[in-house]
Amino acid sequence: MARVKVAINGYGTIGKRVADAIKLQPDMELVGVAKTSPNYEAFTAIKKGYKLFVPKENTSKFEKAGLQISGNIEDMINEADIIIDTTPNGVGASYKPLYQKFEKKAIFQGGEKADVAEVSFSALCNYDEALNKNYIRVVSCNTTGILRTLCTINNKVSKIEKVRVTIVRRASDPKEVKKGPINSIVPDPASVPSHHAKDVLTVIKGIDIVSMAVVAPTTLMHLHLMNITLKNNVKREDVLTALKDTERIVLINSSRTGIGSTAEIVEVSRDLGRYRYDIPEVAIFEDSIYTQNNELFLMYGVHQESIVVPENIDAIRAAMNISSKDESIKITNETLGLMKGYLI
Amino acid sequence: MARVKVAINGYGTIGKRVADAIKLQPDMELVGVAKTSPNYEAFTAIKKGYKLFVPKENTSKFEKAGLQISGNIEDMINEADIIIDTTPNGVGASYKPLYQKFEKKAIFQGGEKADVAEVSFSALCNYDEALNKNYIRVVSCNTTGILRTLCTINNKVSKIEKVRVTIVRRASDPKEVKKGPINSIVPDPASVPSHHAKDVLTVIKGIDIVSMAVVAPTTLMHLHLMNITLKNNVKREDVLTALKDTERIVLINSSRTGIGSTAEIVEVSRDLGRYRYDIPEVAIFEDSIYTQNNELFLMYGVHQESIVVPENIDAIRAAMNISSKDESIKITNETLGLMKGYLI
């Protein structure tokens, strides 16, 4: 079977990771990556041997920087079977007419409004709904973290009645030097619910969920504090068993290993030699799992830079209808080295 | 020739990196690592297959955590030809009598006083003085950064008359969650000169150097702002040529690549897939290199977690007298992937 030709439009935090992930897939090939400005990420793309495509009007800027370009963005789209749109929030929608003009499928990110696509996507929750679709939207990093957790509990422990979740967001990505806050905790927004609850509902329909979010001055990970009310009473052991056995979820035992913070999760990832220290798994603090009658409480970290990468890969297979849910998740997990069980 | 048996006493930020580096050396073998508390670093040591040695009185704590131990610290020292002491600042000196009792050579770190060893060490500056020594002290990360830069200028551009350097230190390592400042700039110390000038003088004798230091709220790298007065007038191009051609120094061109901060240096290191994103090279901002008559100005980043790792490896070869300076530096650079020239 011919490999799926994938193009990446937007080579920033998510785009560069998805490009690297595509290179590891046995059933995909990378056409190239498109970028608008000739910064260090363009240099690393060239160094990795990725073909670089740029907007026509920016060609001279890239040539001036000594970067070899392989064509313009239309050339890249024309060569591809499917486009991963990892352009900045809200920009993806403005590219959609171009993808349509070339009759190409596209995967958008959570920074776009839900109506940019036919379906919002989280692999563990609704892979099958995305089969054969032309336009799929991978939900945001925070929503991906929430959905992986909720679908696992809902499918393996007990049906969910109600979700109340507090999101403590990281202020900026590590590479960003002009974004804050750096000394404040900022309700984001001050109104309740935050948009995350609404975003969850694009994938799991009709549950009672309210989210509140603040931004904290850190770059490493988001942290979620969750309270779930279930239809039935629940035992902590049953929750633990379900989470331990779920792909793309790792457990952090703080009392045994001393890992008690997002910083230390990142340190372990560095020590394990993970590429870019990425942690695409939901990282659940085991000691935080607490049950009381039909209520479940837990805390987990969400690595904003990488958690949506496996979902983008699965979304490609769903859109192209080349693998079942289980097959796709298995290939993605194996090629990207995704774990389940204890991180260490 | 038998490989040198190296033991690591203290498996924290520096110790774990030196252990990994030892494993890559063709002429060394790792006896094991010693650790006092059973935290996540002990778990990763076991996962990597490193033998774990612990103080006798802590044995039960490790066994309780399920960590297999290979003996006590004395057992490890007994098996080794040389000990790398990477215990916390000031603790190394208290272990020296034990190394002496077993008649073993030892490499100490810059957190110890200079008189713990026969010689303070920076590979590019004074490798030959360390040949055959029993006790060598690798100077601190900041001093290593200063010395690499000064010895390069002194040997390749012009003799140095005077050095005035401002050190903006990182507040804590990334893994540290209880150290600050997180919202202040702290003169460190408020008195002048800071200890760094004195530390430089343990390696380059008799130059006129004054250092001032502050701590800034960041975890990624230190940054030095340097003003060197030379014996002769100097051209910017000559400085650039010398720095470009020196091992363990990389140049960062901000205007061409957009890398304008320590955060972006780290981002590039992550993108290049460097283990733990380590940057053991001095990272000089090319655009900051400025000359005026016989004065030279420049800024560079110092990655506090990794810059002393290659120096520790070279110090082993010097102590054992198994390689010349150039041979040792070559093997270390090749095995650790150290660069010269432009980072990207």
A contact test, residue of B36, B39, B40 with most A CBs within 10 A:
B40
Q: Read off the pLDDT band of A178 (50, 70, 90).
A: very high
pLDDT score at B280 = 98
In contact, A311 and A121? CB cutoff 8 Å? yes
In contact, B335 and B24? CB cutoff 8 Å? yes
Structural domain includes residue B344: no
**A164 with A222, same domain?**
yes
Structural domain includes residue A341: no
The shortest C-alpha distance from A34 to chain B (Å) reads: 17
Structural domain includes residue A24: yes
pLDDT score at A301 = 98
Q: Read off the pLDDT band of B331 (50, 70, 90).
A: very high
Q: Does position B269 have pLDDT exceeding 80, yes or no?
A: yes
Contact A39 B258 (CB under 8 A): yes
Mean model confidence pLDDT for chain A: 97
**Mean pLDDT computed over A148-160:** 97
Mean model confidence pLDDT for chain B: 97
Q: Does position B138 have pLDDT exceeding 90, yes or no?
A: yes
What is each CA distance from B259 to B251, B267, B288, in whole angstroms? Answer: 11, 9, 13
**Mean pLDDT computed over B303-325:** 98
**Mean pLDDT computed over B184-192:** 96
Among A261, A268, A275, whose Cβ lies nearest the Cβ of B44? A268
CATH number at residue A230: 3.30.360.10
- What span, in angstroms and rounded, lies between the C-alpha atoms of B186 and B195? 15
Query: What pLDDT, in 10s, does the model give residues A24-49?
Result: 999 999 999 999 999 999 999 999 99
In contact, A37 and A10? CB cutoff 8 Å? no
**B164 with B301, same domain?**
yes
- What span, in angstroms and rounded, lies between the C-alpha atoms of A15 and A86? 5
Q: Which residue of B has its CA nearest to A181?
A: B183
SS (H, E, C) chain B: CCCEEEEEECCCHHHHHHHHHHHCCCCEEEEEEECCCCCHHHHHHHHCCCCEEECHHHHHHHHHCCCCCCEEHHHHHHHCCEEEECCCCCHHHHHHHHHHHCCCEEEECCCCCHHHCCEEECHHHHHHHHCCCCEEEECCHHHHHHHHHHHHHHHHCCCEEEEEEEEEEECCCCCCCCCCCCCCCEECCCCCCCHHHHHHHCCCCCCEEEEEEEEECCCCCEEEEEEEEECCCCCHHHHHHHHHCCCCEEEECHHHHCCCCHHHHHHHHHHCCCHHHCCCCEEEEHHHCEEECCEEEEEEEECCCCCCHHHHHHHHHHHHCCCCHHHHHHHHHHHHCCCCEECC
**A120 with A11, same domain?**
yes
Tokens of B116: 């713990």
Contact A44 B264 (CB under 8 A): no
pLDDT score at A93 = 98
Q: Read off the pLDDT band of B189 (50, 70, 90).
A: very high
**A97 with A242, same domain?**
no
**A83 with A119, same domain?**
yes
**A109 with A150, same domain?**
no
**Percentage of chain B with pLDDT > 70?**
100
Residues of A with CB under 8 A from a CB of B: 16, 37-41, 43-44, 47, 65-66, 174-177, 182-183, 217, 256-261, 263-264, 266-268, 270-273, 275-277, 344
Query: What pLDDT, in 10s, does the model give residues B88-128?
Result: 999 999 999 999 999 999 999 999 999 999 999 999 999 99
Q: Does position B320 have pLDDT exceeding 90, yes or no?
A: yes
DSSP assignment, residue A338? -
**Mean pLDDT computed over B55-81:** 96
Is B196 assigned to a binding site?
yes
**B298 with B328, same domain?**
no
In contact, A77 and A98? CB cutoff 8 Å? yes
Contact B272 A44 (CB under 8 A): yes
In contact, A92 and A113? CB cutoff 8 Å? no
**B154 with B105, same domain?**
no
Query: What pLDDT, in 10s, does the model give residues A103-139?
Result: 999 999 999 999 999 999 999 999 999 999 999 999 9
Chain A CB contacts of B261 below 8 Å: 177
**B97 with B182, same domain?**
no
This model of the complex carries an ipTM of: 0.94
Which amino acid is present at A197?
A
Which amino acid is present at B247?
E
pLDDT score at A117 = 98
- The domain of A206 spans 142-307
Q: Does position A153 have pLDDT exceeding 90, yes or no?
A: yes
Q: Which residue of A has its CA nearest to B47?
A: A344
Structural domain includes residue B45: yes
pLDDT score at B115 = 98
Rounded to the nearest 10 degrees, what angle do helices A262-271 and B40-47 cross at?
A: 20
Tokens of B215: 């701590």
**Mean pLDDT computed over A197-207:** 96
Query: What pLDDT, in 10s, does the model give residues A209-232?
Result: 999 999 999 999 999 999 999 999
**B165 with B46, same domain?**
no
**B157 with B289, same domain?**
yes
pLDDT score at A326 = 98
Tokens of B21: 């580096």
Structural domain includes residue B292: yes
pLDDT score at B1 = 73
Structural domain includes residue B341: no
Report how many domains make up chain B: 2
Query: What pLDDT, in 10s, does the model give residues A223-268?
Result: 999 999 999 999 999 999 999 999 999 999 999 999 999 999 999 9
**Mean pLDDT computed over A327-331:** 98
**A270 with A329, same domain?**
no
The shortest C-alpha distance from A243 to chain B (Å) reads: 21
Q: Does position A162 have pLDDT exceeding 80, yes or no?
A: yes
